[in-house]
Structure 1
């Protein structure tokens, strides 16, 4: 009788690649949207962002991606572009829309693993809304920039992958591109944390230069305890494996990039589940988020993760009480549940100094700015009107 051989053992490295590939996706999704598609797509997105749209062939996929918003309509081109040098020499990519001498400047700060492209809908809607002064419409200049290591901006030393450094970068952008006049800050996810970091490091700006703020789908701390909507057993597994995945992304980025290509379908599905609240979200939106995140190298993702997981800005919100503030989230956000927004509102209003507006968008997930763009744009417009009305009343008084 022929001897039966046991089935070959699964190669440990293959098993590790599968686990790390899946966890790389989950780790990157920790605060923004999830790891995306292949490195080929990442190179394409980064090449597109670094080239002016006018230089791209109109019929090429690259030209269409750069010129189009998530649903294929024409995007609002920038009136001005600039590079701002951070305090450590990193160059930050900036785009502006609207008159340079507008009486109000609105600065948009994007989230973890994303880019300024995440504001595509708000960029188009608010540019049309604020292009000219008309009745009660405030006139404003819109400023968008890529955070360090993201989009078209440069990378810094790993040790500078902190909220404090991101806050310093935001301050530098303000000093360089809006050195005078009132400013409203709008931040999504890590962008909101960046604004809170600026409030902690430069509180004197709030109530003087910074006259309003919007915090979308963000948190002031305790991110390490998030479950992302996963069952308890998987949450424990994530906690055990995340350090391995983070080490791999930082010290073996080529291997990590390869494993996220292998797990591309899995992590793209995770992007959809973790980023959007609706089960029938337009696939174009999922692909759009995938393409943005694919442009963020895995080692950058890993370098910023500890800063986010260890964040605690709960006790540093006092400067924001001095200005009108919008807090907005989706009621199906499993990345940063609405309880985090509720805590921010509680901290902002506990002294009665600032009646923060709190909006919960039904059916929306973490990428509420893409999933419910009209609601977000309308809320931002109301905030700007509130800011302008308040400043006008103060001037008359």
Structure 2
């Protein structure tokens, strides 16, 4: 195949405009960080040098991010780490809290351009409530993993940047790390789409091994048409520059990296505006999201975008109707508006055997897991109680 290059005289201007425009364009993928087409090149910093989150530089490796939570508190360390091999050979980084023989397993699936670090508050709270047991037998094991191309996981070929492949990856994690006993799946944004993809790919798991699910700030489709609350003119500009931006990120990643480093402050402002609902969100949370984004190469962002923009799982939710399901969203989510969660709830309740628990968090944006972590943890604990009640598993908290 012959690939045509832009005319030499206009190449840099077009690419620069495209990259900056993609700060808005890729946000249509419905992720907390999709708008941030800015990866700050990772700089090695010894964990001992990390101060409070307010002083965290954006240039941290994924492993360093997991040393602290978004507000600078020491993160809950993993009891075990592992690498799970996907069906195409990609290695997925996994961390576990709680004993291998816990009667209930909860698997957390993060969103696009983020990492398992996006669950930092839930990891700390739920580990204290469910995994430590305060001297008694722990009630649950928590599993966190980085999706392919994100965080510490390996990267596959571009053609495997699909929801179907992410769903297969989740299946591999379940088969390798939770082959027996009841499992609850918890997904944020693209993580929720991954769970829906697994339901379509392996429906027999739902009701047998998968006993519950939580879909947080997610969508079953129609993401390409999102306006992000922007005026019509800016939405049109985004659509016009996106093809140039995507081409640049995929085929000129070095140039794209330089461009988004130069636009770091603009990107941080976009993260703040589009990821959070509150106008006075703690700057430490914004910096934490910026740091997670730094672990995602621009060409990975470009490779996954078409899969998200073309997503349509609306008609494939039937397996989730067999299990208790939590749908949670913030009422100020600009990335994936509340109406997308409304549609999921409507489809799940049409013929569902289990009542859907629908939680709308007032004032919260797309990164509700960081902005209102206690609300999210309470809702997840309530879901786990429902699942446990049906399987004679004692869950406290």
Counterpart secondary structure, 2:17: helix
Q: What TM-score do you get using the length of structure 2 for normalisation?
A: 0.89
- Following superposition, the deviation at residue 57 of structure 1 comes to 4.8
Change (3 A) 1:87 1:332: same
Matches within 5 A, 1:141-156: 141-156=141-156
Contact 1:138-1:388 within 8 A present in 2 as well: no
Q: 1:225 is paired with a residue of what secondary structure?
A: coil
**Contact 2:216 2:328 survives alignment (8 Å):** yes
| 1:59 maps onto 2:45 in alignment | no
**In 1, are the aligned partners of 2:147 and 2:153 still within 8 Å (CA)?**
yes
- TM-score norm. by structure 1 comes to 0.89
In 1, the alpha carbon distance for the partners of 2:25 and 2:14 equals 15
What is the match of residue 334 of structure 2?
334
Q: Which residue does 1:285 correspond to in 2?
A: 285
Q: In 2, Cα distance between the equivalents of 1:264 and 1:319?
A: 42
Larger radius of gyration, structure 1 or 2?
Answer: 1
Any conservation in 1 of the 2:15–2:248 contact (CA below 8 Å)?
no
Deviation by residue 1:326-349 (Cα, 9 ceiling, x = unmatched): 000000001000000000000000
Give 2:77's aligned residue: 77
Q: CA deviation at 1:122?
A: 0.2
Conserved? CA contact 1:29–1:271, under 8 Å: no
Following TM superposition, by how much is the alpha carbon of 1:236 offset from its aligned partner in structure 2, in angstroms? Answer: 1.4
* Aligned residue in 1 for 2:258: 258
CA distance in 2, matches of 1:64, 1:156: 23
Matched with 1:25 is 23
Q: Unaligned regions of 5+ residues in structure 2, if any?
A: 1-8, 52-59
Alignment of 1:364-383 (within 5 A): 364-383=364-383
Give the alignment's Cα RMSD to 1 decimal: 2.1
Task: Quote the Cα distance in structure 1 between the aligned partners of 2:77 and 2:136.
Answer: 25
Partners of 2:182 and 2:199 lie apart in 1 by 15
TM-superposed CA distance for 1:109, in Å, is 0.1
Instruction: List runs of 5+ in structure 1 lacking aligned partners.
Output: 1-10, 49-55
Aligned equivalent of 2:235 = 235
- Distance of aligned partners of 1:232 and 1:300 in 2 relative to their CA distance in 1, 3 Å threshold: same
Count of residues paired in the alignment: 373
Runs of 4+ in 1 over 4 A off after TM superposition: 11-14, 35-39, 60-65, 132-138
Deviation of 1:64 after TM superposition, in Å, equals 6.8
